Amino acid sequence: MKIEIWSDVMCPFCYIGKNNFEQALAKLPFKDEVEIEWKSFQLDPTLDPKETKNTIEYFKEKKGFPEAQAQQMIGQVAQMGKGAGIDFNFEKALITNTFSAHKLLHLAKKYNKANEMEEALFIAHFIDGKNVGDIETLVSLAESLGIDKEEAQQAVTSEEFDYEINQDILEARNNGVSGVPFFILNGKYAVSGAQPVELFENALQQTYTETVTPLKNLSDKGASCDTDGCEI
């Protein structure tokens, strides 16, 4: 069973959704039969990759929120994070263009380390306050997962994975995805947003059951042919 997940590094709900999804999957007996593919999505491609903003600045400029409202929203998200086992550090988080970070994610796919890379990027951005648009930072994250330094440098400074990233974004648009996280379960069902563990668990169970259940014949046996011949 395949699960495709569209996400952006600077989306706190993507981090919460990832944790809740993983908690749900860990409870299920078929967890080892699930293939997860992380897909790229950019919430704000207009951001300058050479600049960073703090979270309050970004909400004030992008959303037009007064500082008190921005603080309130951040506090609510932080509370949601605690429920998912995440201690967000919004005071240190640096908002920037995430396209280069997505390049690193696609490089990690080559080594079946996309999930680990997604987690490392979330921690770097939301917990450690690192600049996930900075080349040295990204190369260091790749090295921490055992990926060659020179290969990582090449990946994040070239156009090697630009096509894959843009294809992910186009696929999201074609699927009507306008926000993340967005989960597609075995090409059949969709789950949007940072849903509770229980909802992910039920959705996964339903999808798996429908995937592995043998076909139910809705008709009585009729005239047919098989390898032994035909009968009425």
The pLDDT tens digits for 2-41 are 999 999 999 999 999 999 999 999 999 999 999 999 999 9
Predicted structure pTM score: 0.90
pLDDT of residue 65: 84
From CA 60, how far away is CA 129, in angstroms rounded?
19
From CA 107, how far away is CA 153, in angstroms rounded?
11
Q: What is the mean pLDDT of residues 207-213?
A: 85
User: Which residue carries 């798996």 as its tokens?
Assistant: 208
Q: Is pLDDT above 80 for 227?
A: no
pLDDT of residue 48: 94
User: Which residue carries 């069902």 as its tokens?
Assistant: 189
- Cβ proximity of 134 and 98 under 8 Å: no
pLDDT of residue 230: 52
pLDDT of residue 63: 82
pLDDT of residue 34: 97
pLDDT of residue 104: 97
What is the per-residue pLDDT across 64-87, written as a single tens digit (0 to 9) for each? 889 899 999 999 999 999 999 999
pLDDT of residue 196: 95
Q: What is the mean pLDDT of the chain?
A: 92
37 Cβ contact partners less than 8 Å away, ≥ 6 residues apart: 2, 3, 4, 5, 109, 114
What is the per-residue pLDDT across 115-147, written as a single tens digit (0 to 9) for each? 999 999 999 999 999 999 999 999 999 999 999
The values of phi and psi at residue 7, to 5°, are -155, 160
Two tokens at 218? Answer: 């809705």
- What percent of the chain has pLDDT above 70? 91
pLDDT of residue 212: 75
From CA 154, how far away is CA 148, in angstroms rounded?
10
Domain ranges of the chain: 2-212
What are the distances in angstroms from CA 52 to CA 65, 95, 97?
18, 5, 8
- Give which of 62, 96, 63, 85 is closest to 15, Cα–Cα: 85
Q: What is the mean pLDDT of residues 164-193?
A: 95
Q: Is pLDDT above 80 for 224?
A: no
Q: Which CATH architecture has domain 2-212?
A: 3-Layer(aba) Sandwich (3.40)
Q: Residue 118 burial (CB < 10 Å; 0-12/13-18/19+)?
A: buried
